């Protein structure tokens, strides 16, 4: 995430001086109404996302298992998006969007001589549609939404640090009376996701654009599985991610002014 943000910042520092040198910058007709302009073109790019979600639901179970809480820390996601303007509806564009990220907590229990780890991964994406309104020279506001699917993947691990070998794994597996401190369980929740959003976009060059925006992913109709096989019931509703996102990004393509 830090590398992605550093790359974005470096690109801004390089490109902004170049954009000021474009010839048509001095040829803008100031009497032109940007609100009436018709958008054309298409683009794709990377959109780093900060997810600000309510973690109290999962935190209660982390605490009961003797692990640190997520607390108010955000989850960082890397997203990608591609779109094109459709000509039969003015300033409407369609495309696809996807994003994913994860976080983890761990703790060593010296009494039981066991390390516990929990990984929490979130991903979502789908079909994208936006209406884009030009509001100034090179400056637009985009209002839209994406609809598709998403998932929450929780991986729980325990490990006593012992030597692992092929025969001992099969011995433990074949003997139900023998307990082991080493195991991994995977819990997966699949959702339908509707994500309304608003972005402010500025065209630096005819082929490059930057943006910032906010979204509010809504996840519903969950289906939960244990180890990708068994149906898992009685999942608390607070486990479903609830909150908002902040995004920034760089898009590459063709941006008609």
Which CATH code is given to the segment(s) 2-6+31-255? Answer: 2.40.160.20
Quote the pLDDT of residue 34: 74
CA distance readout (Å), 90 to 116, 157, 232: 54, 52, 46
Domain coordinates of the chain in residue numbers? 2-6+31-255
Q: What is the mean pLDDT of residues 143-159?
A: 96
Q: What is the pLDDT of residue 20?
A: 42
Compute the C-alpha angle 92/49/153, nearest 5°.
Answer: 110
Mode of pairing for the β-strands spanning 41-53 and 243-255: antiparallel
What confidence score (pLDDT) does residue 111 get? 84
Of residues 180 and 184, which shows the higher confidence score? 184
pLDDT value of residue 178: 65
Query: What does the pLDDT average to over 81-87?
Result: 94
The per-residue pLDDT for 78 is 96
What are 212's two structure tokens?
Answer: 């910032």
**pLDDT reported for residue 257:** 59
Min mean pLDDT across 105-119, 123-137, 165-179 is at 165-179
Mean of per-residue pLDDT scores for the chain: 86
Residue 7 scores a pLDDT above 70? no
Q: Has residue 15 got a pLDDT over 60?
A: no
> For residue 36, what pLDDT is reported?
82
Tokens 């018709």 label which residue? 38
CA angle 79, 206, 25 (to 5 degrees): 130
**Three-state secondary-structure class, residue 7:** helix
Beta strands in 110-182 (DSSP E): 114-136, 139-159
User: Is the pLDDT assigned to residue 12 strictly greater than 90?
Assistant: no
Averaged pLDDT, 63-77:
94
Q: Residue 15, SS3?
A: helix
Indicate if the pLDDT at residue 2 is higher than 50. Answer: no
Closest CA to 99 of 164, 162, 39, 50: 50
């Amino acid at each position: 995430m830090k590398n992605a943000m550093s790359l974005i910042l470096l690109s801004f520092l390089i490109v902004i001086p170049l954009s000021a040198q474009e010839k048509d910058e001095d040829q803008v007709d100031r009497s032109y109404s940007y609100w009436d302009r018709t958008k054309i073109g298409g683009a794709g790019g990377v959109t780093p996302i900060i997810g600000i979600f309510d973690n109290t639901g999962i935190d209660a179970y982390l605490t009961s298992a003797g692990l640190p809480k997520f607390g108010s820390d955000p989850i960082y996601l890397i997203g990608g998006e591609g779109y094109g303007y459709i000509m039969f509806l003015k300033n409407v564009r369609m495309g696809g969007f996807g994003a994913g990220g994860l976080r983890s907590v761990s703790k060593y229990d010296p009494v039981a001589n066991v390390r516990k780890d929990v990984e929490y991964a979130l991903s979502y994406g789908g079909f994208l549609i936006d209406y884009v309104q030009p509001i100034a020279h090179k400056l637009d506001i985009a209002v839209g939404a994406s609809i598709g699917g998403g998932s929450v993947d929780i991986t729980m691990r325990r490990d006593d640090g012992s030597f692992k070998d092929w025969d001992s794994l099969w011995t433990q597996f074949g003997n139900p009376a023998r307990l082991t401190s080493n195991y991994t369980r995977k819990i997966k929740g699949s959702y339908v996701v509707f994500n309304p959003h608003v972005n402010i976009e500025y065209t630096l060059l005819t082929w490059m654009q930057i943006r910032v925006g906010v979204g509010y992913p809504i996840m519903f109709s969950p289906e939960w599985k244990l180890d990708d096989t068994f149906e898992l019931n009685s999942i608390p509703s607070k486990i479903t991610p609830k909150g908002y996102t902040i995004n920034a990004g760089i898009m590459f393509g063709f941006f008609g002014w």
